[in-house]
Structure 1
Amino acid sequence: MPSPNDPRTNRLLAALPDAEWGRWQALLEPVDLPLGKVLHESGGALEHVYFPTSALVSLLYVLADGGTAEIAVVGLEGLVGVTLFMGGGSTPSRAVVQSAGQGFRLPAPALQEEFQRAGPAMHLLLRYTQALITQMAQTAVCNRHHSLDQQLCRWLLLSLDRLPGNELVMTQELIGNMLGVRREGVTEAAGRLQAAGLIRYARGRITVLDRPGLEARTCECYGVVKKEYDRLLPHAAPG
């Protein structure tokens, strides 16, 4: 299994051509990403872009009353901070580490300079952004039209795709905040998945026991998102 201390465990970094990787490598800084760390706040200026290698980051929309709902999840497949190169400068979402781990960060000016070169890195970042937008749109559709069981299966599968293992360290309260539902609903849904032998949940740790079973139980939304990421982004092994 690739090491979280290797920046090219992150699939976007692994996909960079040699010339771009040579420019970025010296500028990347390893960072610990503890549970609950806020990488950027709603409306704030971004000073870095983050490339997780073993952490999971939620992009959350924050309501006026303090309530939150997850609009996307980012892990080793991507980056946090697309507004740095999309021209907006800030974003209405908050980025919070939801599963602790490691990653790397790159200063904002370095990423903006690379994007302005209009080379391979720019095209890679734009394809990633298109995939991320698909995830956001499908999350909205799923939360409106599908059952909590299906939403939880989708969320677990998307999270697993972005982590190096098959275990999530996550409380039911935090899952509820991610999905925008009450903790009691998550408890019941997780209990049904556990009773079906699909997951094991104990002391804040969710271990997936039967991934094909989860895939069979989820809605079409997971497949739509996965297909778009697979279509747009390379799955190069770290080199």
Structure 2
Amino acid sequence: MNTRKLTKASYMVSGVVLLVVAVEVIARLGIAGTAWPSLVEVYEFLGDERQRSTLWRNTLVTLESSATGLVMGTIIAVLAGAVSALVPILRPGLDRFAAIVNAVPLVALAPLFITTVGREDSPAVVAAMGVGFVVFVSTTSGLANASRTHHDVLTVLGANRFRRFARLQLPQALPSIVDGLVLAAPTAVLGATIGEWFGAPSGLGMMIVSAFQSANIPQLWAVALSATAMALIAYFIFIAVQRATVRRFT
């Protein structure tokens, strides 16, 4: 087992090293033009204490919006999934509504939320929109996993629909719900960044717009790396939660 883990870790490290080398080679050879800076330039940008402080402060803003959107989207999606399981007649309508909402591009919704919920709250709402569909699909799929035989046994024992939901469907759906969160966490970061793009007073999206306007390529890449790191950290956190949930409920 230790050898297998060591092999996986070596593969991961090798992949990261190859990626870093490829990025640096492309920059040094000028293959992608001036819009592709070397990692040394990005590092020098982050070496400036003022720039680093600004990036960190805006990263925390995006993190807060992403976390808020993740919580909001998850709660709404799980509640909608629960309603579809408890009231089956509503399932087709909720499925279609979720599909229609998901079909609307977040880029089109962000300006609308800016004018309705406000510049400060719109990133979290956009993030919640991105999270909602993923978690709704995983929730409804998980709730449908309970076998008909188990339903029949609980029914014979006198359990009503709500008790079957609480004692059978929901526990079996938890691994599927966490699967959805694994995918939804990076989506929340993307949604929050898009929401900030359209006029939020702070956040990584605002920094991207500022970098475009001033042609500050190192800042643009520093922001991109920060957002990527945030999404990866969230992803690996929920991977760990997923493994624990699978061990407990399967």
So what's the TM-score if we normalise by structure 2?
0.28
Question: Structure 1 or 2: larger helix share?
Answer: 2
Question: Structure 1 or 2: larger strand share?
Answer: 1
Larger Rg: 2
So what's the TM-score if we normalise by structure 1?
0.29
